[in-house]
Structure 1
Amino acid sequence: MNKTVGNTAGSPKRWVVMGVSGCGKSEIGQRLADRLGIAYVEGDNDHPAANIAKMATGTPLDDTDRNEWLLGLQARIRAAQQRGEALVLSCSALKRRYRDLLRAGDPALVFIHLEGDRDLIASRMRQRPGHFMPVTLLDSQFLDLEPLMDDELGIRLNIECGPEQIVDQVLQRFSKDVEI
């Protein structure tokens, strides 16, 4: 079980919805932001064009490829934190060091790790035509994945539940920390 955040009730919070490609980060992130009435940022939109082109050809990104992207997302998180604004961001955040880099923008950053069966996620990926991330890269994502650890602020949730149930679980877990 992951730690909960010790913020006072109603204080703004920054959230990262994380997991492998196809797990539902964008949908859950948008739904959570809508429910909380706060801003949502699709992290994939901040990828440099070279990263998108590389993934589109079926080549996985390496740490060097991800660094500029993650630093840009960190800057977004830091800016929201400095302005006292809440934010939901979707980002794979597959490795602990990536999450540490994002967390450097806000030490109280909360991670929502969406987990699921590889076959279920692959079937979801096949149902999103035109997305730059091909199903062939899913195995590389699972190889890179370092699940959210107990000492990280956040929650791990199975994606077999429906999207609204997942958002409900997040809000129930953190209800003392946010105005719902």
Structure 2
Amino acid sequence: MGVSGCGKSEIGQRLATALDLPFLEGDSFHSAANVAKMAAGIPLTDDDRAGWLHTLQEQIRQATQQGHGLVLSCSALKRRYRDLLRAGNPALRFAHLSGPRSVIAERMAARVNHYMPPSLLDSQLRDLEPLQADEAGVLLDLNLPPQQLVDAILDNQGAHA
């Protein structure tokens, strides 16, 4: 979890590979209307995100019912969003990639062919509610090397071999 540009996709893919699990890119589940809105530099509202979050919750629920895990990249900016996702599997854990605005803005500006403009970073940072003490997960410094981040996530969930 984390704001756009924090590294969710890269770390998620690496984590999925390490765990031999499927990886789902949460952004690929956004509606065309949501993508168009973000591409136009308009922040999504809670109502805009509702259908998307329910779709992701269903992906989590299906994986749980089928008896396998998955790794999902999702901004999960607000506690209520994470609660909704957890309704798909109460054992869901979050890895929050966090770091300085300047680093994230630089990463966003360097991306090619991504619909999320750097101008939306401040709205995401404003909406962000960090993990709370009663939420299963780990807060990580996005400045660490990718493999170190993956190792920290594995260590935090007791899955590191």
After TM superposition, give the deviation of residue 129 of structure 1 in Å: 1.4
CA RMSD between the two structures: 0.8
Q: Does 1:99 align with 2:82?
A: yes
The aligned counterpart of 2:53 is 70
**Letter aligned with residue 162 of structure 1:** P
Residue 55 (1) aligns with residue 34 (2) = no
Which blocks of at least 5 consecutive residues in structure 1 are unaligned?
Answer: 1-17
- Give the C-alpha shift of residue 171 in structure 1: 1.0
Match of 1:171 in 2: 154
Paired positions, count: 161
Question: For residues 59-81 of structure 1, what are the alpha-carbon distances to aligned partners after superposition, in whole Å with 9 as ceiling and x for unaligned?
Answer: 00000000000000000000001
Give the one of 67, 70, 95 matched to 1:87: 70
TM-score if structure 2 supplies the norm length?
Answer: 0.98
- 1:160 matched to 2:143? The reply is yes
Residues 113-148 of structure 1 show CA distances to partners (whole Å, capped at 9, x for unaligned) of 100100000000011111000000000000000001
> What is the CA–CA distance in structure 1 between the aligned matches of 2:100 and 2:57, rounded to whole Å?
29
- CA separation in 2, counterparts of 1:105 and 1:169? 24
Distance 1:78 1:134, change over 3 A: same
2:21 aligned with 1:35, yes or no? no
Q: TM-score, normalised by structure 1?
A: 0.88
Separation in 1, partners of 2:9, 2:111: 12
Structure 2 regions of 5+ residues with no counterpart?
none
Check conservation: 2:3, 2:124, Cα contact below 8 A. yes
Partner of 2:2: 19
What is the rounded CA distance, in whole Å, between the counterparts of 2:33 and 2:126 in structure 1? 22
Deviations 1:100-125 (A, max 9, x none): 00000000000011001000000000
Q: Give, in angstroms, the shift of residue 179 of structure 1.
A: 6.7
- 1-structure distance, mates of 2:96, 2:87: 18
**Structure (1/2) with the larger helix percentage:** 2
Higher relative contact order (CA 8 A, sep 6+): 1
Q: Report the Cα distance in structure 2 between the residues aligned to 1:122 and 1:25, rounded to whole angstroms.
A: 15
